[in-house]
Chain A
C-alpha cells in the first residue's frame, strides 16, 4: 500500500518534469519563430523564408546586410534583455516573498536609467565599458532606498510595491527633468525614459553579453537557495541557510541583470513581473522557474519588439509602452489577488 503511494509519488513528480519539458520546448520553438519574425520585420520587410535562409547561408543581397548589421543584433539584444528582466524579477520575488516584486516596480529599472542619463549628460566622453557598472550603481541605489524604507516600516507586499512605485515615479520625474533641462541628448530620451530597442547594434550586444550571461548562469545555480528562502527567513535559517547574506548576494545578481538590460534597452516595465508570476502558477520550483523565465522573458520582449515594427515600421512605438500596456492589467490582477492573504 505504502509502496504504491510512493510509486504514484514519483509518477507525479515526473509529471511536473514532463510539464517543464513541454513548456520549455514550446517556449524555445516560439522564441525561434519570434526571433525569425523579428529579423524579418522593419521598414524593409524581408520575407520570412528568405530571412531564415539567410541565417543559414550568407549571400550578397541587401537583405543580408540589413539582417546581419541591424536586425540580428537587435533581436539578440532583445532576447538577452528579456531573459535578464524576467530572471531578475523571479529572484526578487523569491527573496522578498512578494509576488509584486520586480525590477520595474521596485524602482530598480528607473534608478539604473537615471544613472545612465546622468552619465550621458555630464560625462559624455566616458567609455561605454563603464555603462553597465554605472547602471548597476543606480539600481543598487534604488534597491537600498527601498530596503531602508522596508526596514524602518516592515512593509506588507502591497506597501512595498506602493513604495517601489513611488520611488520609480520620483526617479522618472528626475530623469525627465534632466532631459528637458539638457535637451542636447534628445536621442537618449525615448530610450532611457520609455525603453526602446531602436538602433541597437553589435557594439551594444558585445557590451552587455558577458554581464547578462554571467548573471543568468549564476542564477541557474541558486535555485536551492531561492526555494528555501521562499519559506521565510527563520525557516531558511533553520535549514542551514544564512538568510541575510544569501538575500544580499541574490539581490546583487538580480540588480546586475536588470541594470545590464536597462543599459541596452532602457527601463522596459513589467516583464519581470508577468513572466515569473505566470510560470510560478505551474512551476513554483525555482529549478524549473528560472530557466523557463529566461525563455519566456526573451520571448515576450522579442515579441513586443516585433509587434511595434509591424504596427508602424517607420516611426517606432517604444517597446516599453507596449510592455506597460500588456503588463498593467496583469499588475492589477496580482495586486487584487493579494487580498486573499489578508494583506492591506
Chain B
C-alpha cells in the first residue's frame, strides 16, 4: 500500500522533471516547440545550435547541481539533527565558492576538474570553520550553527568580492560562482561534473539506512552496534564533497539544499532510502524551474537561478525558524 503510494509520488516527480526539462529546452531567444523536441532531427541550424550547444549542457548542469545540493542538504540536516542546516547556511558553499574563484584567478590554466576538487576542499574548510566556531562546551546548538555559518559565509563572500575586485579577471566565468547561475554552462563544464556527480549521488543513495540510524539518538544507534562517530564523519565528508561539486557546477544556489530535503520529507515520509532520491529529483526540479523562470520573466534579460531560489527559499526558512522555536 505504502509502496504503491511512493511509486506514484516518484512517477509524478519524474514526470514533472521531464516536463519542466522540456520547457527549459524550449524557451529562450530561439524558440523550439515541444513537437520539434521530439523530432529533433528536423531542427534548423540555429535551433539545433541553441538546443545542443547551449541549452542541453545548461540543463544538465542545472539538474545535477540541484540534485547535489539537495543530497548534501539531506545528509547535513540528518547528521546534524538540525532542520536549518543546509550547505549554503553552514558555510559550505561560501567556502567552495571563494576557493573556486581564487583558483580561477591564480591558476587560470587549471582544468575544470582541478577547480572542482579545490572547491571541495574549500567547502570542507568553510564547514570546519563554522563547526569549530559554533561549538561551545562541546555542544552545537542548531541556531548557533546556522548563525555562525551565515556569519562565516558573509565574511567569505566579502573576501570573494574583494578578490574579484582587486585582481584583473575575466569576470564572466567567476561571476557565476557568486550569482548562482548556470548561464554560460557549456559541454566542458557539464562533462566535467557529470561523471563525478553520478558517482557521488550513487554512493549517497546507498547510505539511506545509515542516515536512518543516525537520525536516532546516539545511544540507541550505538546500542545496535553501529559506529556512529565514523559514519557521521564519513557522511559529513560526503555532504561537503557533494556541495563542492554543486558549487563548481552552478555557484551558490541559495536555499536549494535547505528546501529540497524538506519538501522530499513532506511528500515521501521519513525513510531516508526514499527521501534521498526524492530530494535529488526535487532539487533538480527546483533549479531547472528557477533557471527557466529566470529566462522567461523579462525575456532579453536573464535572472540568475540563485536569485529565484533565494526569493522562494528565504520565506520558507523564516517559516521553519518560527515553527521550530515553538
Chains A and B touch each other in the complex, with CB atoms below 8 Å apart: yes
Of chain A, the residue at the smallest CB distance from B326 is A153
Please judge, given known A-B contacts A339-B137, A344-B144, whether A329 and B155 are in contact too, CB under 8 Å.
yes
Q: How far is the CB of A158 from chain B (nearest CB, A)?
A: 4
* Residues of chain B lying within 8 A (CB to CB) of residue A11: none
The answer to whether A325 and B318 touch across the interface, beta carbons within 8 angstroms, is: no
Task: Report the separation of the CA atoms of residues A170 and B158 in the bound assembly, to the nearest whole angstrom.
Answer: 17
Is residue A335 within 8 Å, beta carbon to beta carbon, of the partner chain?
yes
Q: Determine the distance from Cα of A343 to Cα of B166 in the docked complex, in whole angstroms.
A: 40
- List of A residues within 8 angstroms of B325 by Cβ: 153-156, 159
Cβ of B142: which chain A residues have Cβ within 8 Å of it? 344
B residues less than 8 Å from A169 (CB atoms): 254, 310, 314
Kindly specify which of A37-45, A54-62, A160-168, A204-212 makes contact with the partner chain: A160-168
Q: Using Cβ atoms and an 8 Å threshold, which residues of chain B touch A344?
A: 141-144
Report chain B residues within 8 Å CB of A113.
Answer: none
Once the chains are docked, how many angstroms separate the CA of A312 from the CA of B315? 39
For chain B residues 135-149, which have a beta carbon within 8 Å of chain A? 136-137, 141-144, 146-148
Residues of chain A within 8 A (CB-CB) of B141 are 158, 339, 344
Measured CA separation A67–B318 after assembly (Å): 47
B residues within 8 A CB of A161?
147
What CA separation (Å) do A331 and B152 show in the bound complex? 9
> Which chain B residues lie closer than 8 Å to A315 at the CB level?
165
What is the minimal beta-carbon distance from B299 to any residue of chain A, in angstroms?
A: 10
* B322 near A149: Cβ-Cβ < 8 Å: yes
With contacts defined as CB atoms under 8 Å apart, how many contacts are there between chain A and chain B in the complex?
132
Instruction: Given the known inter-chain contacts A328-B151, A336-B133, please indicate yes or no for A174 contacting B144, CB distance below 8 A.
Output: no
A100 to B144, CA, bound (A): 12
Considering the complex, which residues of chain A in the window 299-324 have a beta carbon less than 8 Å from any beta carbon of chain B?
A: 311-312, 315, 317-318, 321-322, 324
Most B Cβ at <10 Å: residue of A100, A180, A335: A335
Beta-carbon contacts of B228-265 to A below 8 Å, as 1s and 0s? 00000000000000000000000000100000000000
Q: Is A165 touching B150 in the complex (CB atoms < 8 A)?
A: yes
Q: Does B1 contact A (CB under 8 A)?
A: no
**Given A156-B325, A321-B165, A324-B155, are A162 and B147 neighbors across the interface (CB < 8 Å)?**
yes
Count class of interface residues, chain B: 35 or more
Query: Does any Cβ of B come within 8 Å of A231's Cβ?
Result: no
The answer, yes or no, to whether B116 is at the interface (CB within 8 Å) is no
The distance in angstroms between the C-alpha atoms of A338 and B150, with both chains bound, is 15
List the A residue with the shortest CB-CB distance to B179: A176
How many angstroms between the C-alpha atoms of A172 and B313 in the bound complex? 13
- Min distance, Cβ B197 to any Cβ of chain A, angstroms: 26
Q: How far is the CA of A338 from the CA of B134 in the complex (A)?
A: 10
| Chain B 97-125 interface mask (CB, 8 Å, partner A; 1/0) | 00000000000000000000000000000
Tell me if B212 counts as interface (CB < 8 A to partner A): no
Tell me the A residues contacting B by CB distance below 8 Å. Answer: 100, 149, 152-156, 158-159, 161-163, 165-167, 169-170, 172-174, 176-177, 180-183, 194, 269, 311-312, 315, 317-318, 321-322, 324-325, 328-329, 331-332, 335-336, 338-340, 343-344
The 6 closest A-B pairs by CB, nearest first: A328-B155, A324-B158, A170-B314, A339-B136, A173-B310, A344-B141
Subset of 22 A-B contacts with CB under 8 Å: A153-B322, A156-B325, A158-B144, A159-B321, A161-B147, A162-B143, A162-B146, A162-B147, A166-B318, A169-B314, A170-B310, A181-B301, A269-B154, A317-B166, A324-B155, A324-B157, A325-B158, A329-B155, A335-B147, A336-B136, A343-B143, A344-B144
